[in-house]
């Protein structure tokens, strides 16, 4: 709390001194940059691609929550054919990029491996036959959120 108060006071005082040093006493924000640029456009970073896994993308009887270490869990499931095709299309489009996976109230950021990096013998046709996937290295609470997000209501 004290740190926050100090930071606020410093930012206000720096804006006050900025206003006193300029010909005009009007200050929009202590964080506003003074430039001679023609526009005030700010370049925002591209939004991170997000893949939502929905209950209708999953074979409901395939959902499993398993403990693999003292505090680590894995949630395994099988996509429907349509769900597997959506996942493959997303992976192809965003290979090598950071993405967000969203399942119910659970979210995780990760980087999809480049298209050149595949396990030996892996093919898209083979994947579409088995369609399995998993989220691993999660806590018990996170695993429960994932299972809840995958289950049809």
Q: Is the pTM for the entire model greater than 0.85? A: no
What pLDDT does 44 receive? 78
What pLDDT does 115 receive? 82
- Is the pLDDT score of 5 beyond 70? no
- Is the pLDDT score of 3 beyond 60? no
- Is the pLDDT score of 116 beyond 90? no
Query: Above pLDDT 90, what percent of the chain?
Result: 57
- Is the pLDDT score of 132 beyond 80? yes
113-122: average pLDDT: 86
- Domain parsing of the chain, residue ranges: 1-41, 50-150
pLDDT in tens, 14-71: 444 444 444 444 444 444 445 555 555 677 788 899 999 999 999 999 999 999 898 8
Sign of the dihedral through C-alpha 43, 47, 48, 49? negative
Q: Long-range contacts made by residues 92-98, C-beta under 8 angstroms, separation at least 24?
A: 93/49, 94/49, 97/49, 98/48
- Closest Cα to residue 67, out of 133, 144, 145, 148? 144
What pLDDT does 90 receive? 95
102-129: average pLDDT: 90
């Amino acid at each position: 709390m004290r740190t926050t108060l100090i930071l606020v006071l410093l930012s206000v005082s720096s804006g006050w001194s900025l206003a006193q040093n300029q010909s005009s006493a009007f200050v929009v924000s202590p964080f506003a940059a003074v430039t001679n640029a023609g526009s005030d456009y700010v370049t925002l970073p591209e939004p991170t691609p997000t893949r939502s896994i929905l209950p209708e993308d999953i074979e409901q009887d395939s959902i499993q929550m398993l403990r693999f270490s003292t505090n680590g869990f894995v949630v395994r499931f099988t996509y429907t054919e349509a769900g597997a095709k959506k996942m493959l299309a997303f992976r192809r489009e965003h290979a090598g990029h950071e993405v967000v996976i969203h399942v119910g109230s659970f979210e995780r950021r990760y980087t999809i491996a480049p298209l050149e990096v595949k396990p030996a013998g892996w093919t898209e046709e083979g994947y579409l036959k088995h369609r399995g996937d998993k989220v691993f290295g999660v806590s018990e609470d996170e695993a429960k959120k994932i299972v809840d997000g995958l289950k049809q209501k």
